[in-house]
Structure 1
Amino acid sequence: MLSSTVLFSAALGLVNAHTIFQRVYVNGVDQGWTTGVRYPSYDGPITNVSSTDIICNGGLNPLVTPYSQTVIDIPAGATVTGEWHHGLQPDGYNPSDLADPIDISHLGPVMAYMAAVPSALQTDVTDLKWFKIWEDGFDGTYWGVNRLYNAHGLQNFTIPTCIPAGNYFLRLEIIALHGASVYPGAQFYMECAQINVTGGGSTSPATVSFPGAYAGTDPGITIDIYYPTVTNYTIPGPSVFTCGGSSPTTTSTSTKATSTSTTSTTVKTTTTTSSSTTSTSTTKASTTTTSATSTATGTVAQYGQCGGLTYTGSTVCASPYVCTYSSAYYSQCL
């Protein structure tokens, strides 16, 4: 019997709903489209965690050169917003594109890393030491990608107050797990921004290397998120570094940052678990934009779409399956 992920992968093969991180806001102030960001012309994924392309993208998705010569100044403790979109979109969120900022089927975690560098304008990104400053995984019902989608591609987090001032690369990442039941199958989307942290302190975080931080055997990288029901999800990579030693998770918000000096709002959620990289759940969250074909009687087959705001097909599932709510845009026969 084919796994549900294989079935979903086949159905989604016609969909090229990928994503690119392409804009930075600092305390709500827009730094400009692609300013200070190393971005590709194509929004495809990286699937090999052992490739140097996992660092800041490239390879199959060549980065646009010459790189931006801007280094974005960010005060320690500032709220930073990264903006993702389906392809390069200088005008921002496109409400007519249901796959913007990313296809809602591409469920998985969203993360942010930093690495200190002598110069944020250097071309070489290898052999750097990275630390994770933010992550949003699975809360038992929704994934980080669900929240990013609902926030129209805005990813909010805070620069640690205690790290030393200086140049850094800021690496934002999404891992899409809709085809991750085998390796390679998970899709990694990442870009790096060139930043300069001002203020700060003298704490040196523990670090990891890319490649090296992830392995194809990691349970957060090779996983069938559709069947059996997900009860535990471990976000890949290290724990989130925080100056106080705790690791809260900051979720995406639906309030778009502006070009004024107004500080954008960051919504924080807390859990009762002791580990920042593990969430537990009793409910499976699964979604896609491609519906299974209804049967001759007007019912929807197992794993097919049966509801959602833009859905116009049958809402009746073939027996014994039940139309199960996943998001405002998607319900599925399970």
Structure 2
Amino acid sequence: MRCNVWGSRGVGGKCPVPAGGIVTIEMHAQPGDRSCNNEAIGGAHYGPVMVYLSKVSNAATADGSSPWFKVFEDGWTSAGSVGDNDQWGVKDLNKCCGKMDVPIPASLAPGDYLLRAEVIALHTAGSSGGAQMYMTCYQITVSGSGTWQPSSAEQVSFPGAYRPADPGILFNIHAAVGNYVVPGPKVASVGTTKKAGSGCSSGCASTCKPGSGTKGSVIPATPAAGGGAAGGGAGACAQRQYEQCGGGSWTGCTTCQEGTTCRDVSNGFYSQCV
């Protein structure tokens, strides 16, 4: 819940960020897929996008156990007859090829921080335990002369910031939505709330191309049993655990890798490998 699998294992580098500057996060559901021809978070995984910061002594070795405060969110705006047709942070992320510009508060005190970007997918959130959290962390060093620090009321811990019955966690996105409460604390007083449906900003989210920035380090995961087959015709594909394998108008691969089974988890709307 803090920084995803192996999230306590940092890398050697840190990204320098001036207070008042912009960090462009980039998130995609499938490893290695940065193509703008594919939705970054596909399969109708709609929900909010949130960004937290945590002040640490050394971002390269921090494990995320320190308190977090929210500096950005892109949640929900009414637009359709049911929640699936409304505007969501994930839809903005998809419009921008998986990228979103996040302002770093100009008054933020300098030093090392972990930046935690998160998507909460609500397609199966109508039953307890159905919401899906996807998160990643960035190691940054903020420069500047600011003095602002979060109050205790603005800080949370992971795990612990969310509860299964929170209104933004236990939520039926397939019904009409009158209101949506983004999970976690309110955005800090110096943070930014983006209106869902407002699209890409004029910064890197609109102009940067994959591969044009500094290449980061990747900690390889241990392959699951059976591995992952390359895409192809019937019998050649194999979706990994938790990937979509059916439901609704799904036309992609319907086969799951060895050890997992394709199951309906949302009354015909969505099936995934579990």
- C-alpha RMSD of matched pairs (Å): 2.7
**Per-residue deviation, residues 193-227 of structure 1 (Å, max 9, x unmatched):** 10000004111113111112111110000011112
Partner in structure 1 of residue 249 of structure 2: 291
Shift of 1:125: 2.0
Partner in structure 2 of residue 124 of structure 1: 63
Residue 233 of structure 1 aligns to a residue whose secondary structure is coil
Contact kept? 2:247, 2:268, Cα under 8 Å: no
CA distance in 2, matches of 1:289, 1:104: 9
Unaligned runs of 5+ in 2: 80-86, 214-245, 252-266, 270-274
Partner in structure 2 of residue 219 of structure 1: 167
CA distance in 2, matches of 1:160, 1:86: 28
Shift of 1:67: 3.6
Shift of 1:242: 3.5
CA distance in 2, matches of 1:290, 1:190: 26
Residue 121 of structure 1 aligns to a residue whose secondary structure is coil
**Per-residue deviation, residues 43-72 of structure 1 (Å, max 9, x unmatched):** xxxxxxxxxxx11112xxx45x96421011
Shift of 1:124: 2.5
Q: 1:211 to 1:75 in 2, by over 3 A?
A: same
Q: 1:289 to 1:153 in 2, by over 3 A?
A: farther
**Per-residue deviation, residues 145-190 of structure 1 (Å, max 9, x unmatched):** 1111111101111000111100000000000000001111000000
Residue 70 of structure 1 aligns to a residue whose secondary structure is coil
TM-score by length of 1: 0.56
Matched, 1:112 2:51: yes
TM-score by length of 2: 0.67
Contact kept? 1:160, 1:242, Cα under 8 Å: no
Aligned partner of 1:165 among 110, 125, 143: 110
Contact kept? 2:54, 2:64, Cα under 8 Å: no
Q: 1:187 to 1:213 in 2, by over 3 A?
A: same
Partner in structure 2 of residue 57 of structure 1: 4
CA distance in 1, matches of 2:145, 2:90: 30
1:174-213 to 2 correspondence within 5 Å? 174-206=119-151, 207-213=155-161
Aligned partner of 2:206 among 255, 264, 268: 255
Aligned partner of 1:151 among 85, 96, 99: 96
Contact kept? 1:115, 1:130, Cα under 8 Å: yes
Kindly report structure 1 stretches of 4+ aligned residues shifted beyond 3 Å: none
Paired AA for residue 93 in structure 1: S
Matched, 1:134 2:72: yes
Matched, 1:73 2:28: no
Could you say which structure has the larger radius of gyration?
Answer: 1
Residue 85 of structure 1 aligns to a residue whose secondary structure is coil
Residue 146 of structure 1 aligns to a residue whose secondary structure is helix
Contact kept? 1:154, 1:256, Cα under 8 Å: no
Residue 206 of structure 2 aligns to a residue whose secondary structure is coil
